[in-house]
Amino acid sequence: MSPNLCAFLDMLAVSEGTSTVKGSDNGYNVLYGGGLFHGYEDHPRQFLTFPIKGKLVTSSAAGRYQILLRFFEVYKRQLKLPDFGHDSQDKIAIQLIRECKALGDIEKGNLPAALAKCRSRWASLPGAGYGQHEQKLETLVKAYVRAGGQVA
């Protein structure tokens, strides 16, 4: 995996707020809402509800990249994943990035373009429009560079 792709994954974990959860395994064991799950044999399969901007939002998002259960089921089969461990979560995130056609932008260091292409997959990215907290571009650029990414 290239340094830019590794940095993008680290930046996603910062954006989703998972890698900064106290006691987490660099975000890999974080549930929607900030709780932790134990064991990587399978997606934790929990639907949790929290108020966001005045309305209740229920989600099965889990892991470093807040992967929804319904997507995990699809990608587990498609990518032949054995579990919900670190490597499996990374592979799902990379597949999502690939489907957004953002890998080339990441490799070139065109972070704004990559973020724009991926915002349909991660609610925390600028311009995602899901009604949840969105990170500022400047914050994500700093996280990306701090993780070793090169910006064009």
**Catalytic residue annotation:** 16
Residues 6+ apart with CB under 8 A from 9: 64, 65, 90, 93, 94
Residues 6+ apart with CB under 8 A from 79: 88, 91, 92, 95
3-state class (DSSP) for residue 57: strand
